[in-house]
Amino acid sequence: MSNKLAVSFEFFPPKAGDAEIAFWQTLRRLEMMKPDFVSVTYGAGGTTRDRTLNTVSRIVKETGLAPAAHLTCVGASKDEVNAVVRDFWNAGVRHILALRGDPPAGVGTRFSPHPDGYRNAADLVRGIREIANFQVSVSAYPEKHPESVSIEEDLAFLADKADHGATHAITQFFFHNSFYLRLRDRIAARGINIKLLPGILPITNFAKAQEFAAKCGAHIPPAMTARFAGLDKDPETRNLMAAMVAAEQVQALEREGVDAFHFYTLNRADLVYPICRMIGVGAPAEEQAA
C-alpha cells in the first residue's frame, strides 16, 4: 500500500472534566498520524459554540495541528454567525466546515432559515469568504441527503457551494464504496471543481452505527451485519473486526485512486490509530522507507 495517503480526523468538543482530559489524550495520540487537519463539530443550533471555539483555540495554541471549525447557520442571524466567523479567525483558525445544520432537539425536524440568517450552506460559504480568506469545506451525501428529492438535486447544491468558494467536500459516512465512487464520477461529469473526501466511520458499537445510518440514510451491507453479529458484547473482537473492516474499505478506495480520508473518531483513538497504521499512515520513518 502507498504511504502517501492523507488523513484528517473529526472530533466533538468535550465537556469539562474527565471527558476533556480524555479528549486531549486522544488528540495527542492521533497527532502522531500527522493529519492534514482536525475538525471540531458545532452542536445543533450552535449549542456548543463556546466549547467549539475554546477547543479550536487551544489546538492552535498548544499543538502543531491545523483545526477546521464546524459552523452552522440554523437558528441564527447573519450578524450572529458572522461574529463567530470573526472569532474563529481571531483565534488563528483558517479552515471552516460550513454546514446548513439541523434544528436542536424539540425544535422541529426540517430546516427553516432564520428571518435574518443565511438561506443555506452555499449562502453561508459566500458569507464566510466575504469576511476572510478561509479555506471552506462543505458536506456531501453519497446516498442522497435525507431531505433531497434526488442525487441530482444534491449535485446542484454542491455545485452552488463550490461556485461560492468551497474547495473540499467531506462525505457522510458510507459502507458501500460504490456510492462514493458514483458520486465522485457525477461530480467530475458535471465539472464541479471540488475535492471529495470520503468520511470513514470505524464501528465502536454496531447497534449505534445502525441508528446513525438510519438517520442519515446510509445503507449497511448484509455481509457487514453478519460480521458484527453478537460482537457488541465482545468488545475486543469487535474492535479487531472494526479496524479490519475500515482498513479494507480504505484500501479498496485507494485502489480506485482515492488518496485522502476523513475519519469520524467519536473522540476515540483506540480504533483510528491502528487503522491508520494498517493503511501505512503514521509509521516511523524507517518503517515507511522499508
| Residues with active-site annotation | 10
For residue 38, give the nearest of 17, 21, 59, 23 by alpha carbon.
Answer: 59
Question: Are residues 38 and 65 in contact, defined by beta-carbon separation less than 8 angstroms?
Answer: yes
Q: How far apart are CA 272 and CA 55, in angstroms?
A: 20
Question: Are residues 100 and 73 in contact, defined by beta-carbon separation less than 8 angstroms?
Answer: yes
Q: How far apart are CA 6 and CA 149, in angstroms?
A: 33
For residue 182, give the nearest of 155, 216, 214 by alpha carbon.
Answer: 155
Q: How far apart are CA 24 and CA 27, in angstroms?
A: 5
15 DSSP assignment:
P
From residue 219, alpha-carbon distances to 19, 37, 250 in Å are: 31, 28, 17
Q: How far apart are CA 228 and CA 243, in angstroms?
A: 12
Question: Are residues 81 and 120 in contact, defined by beta-carbon separation less than 8 angstroms?
Answer: no
Residue with cell 458545532: 42
- Beta partners for residue 67, in sequence order: 38
For residue 220, give the nearest of 212, 210, 228 by alpha carbon.
Answer: 210
Q: How far apart are CA 203 and CA 166, in angstroms?
A: 29
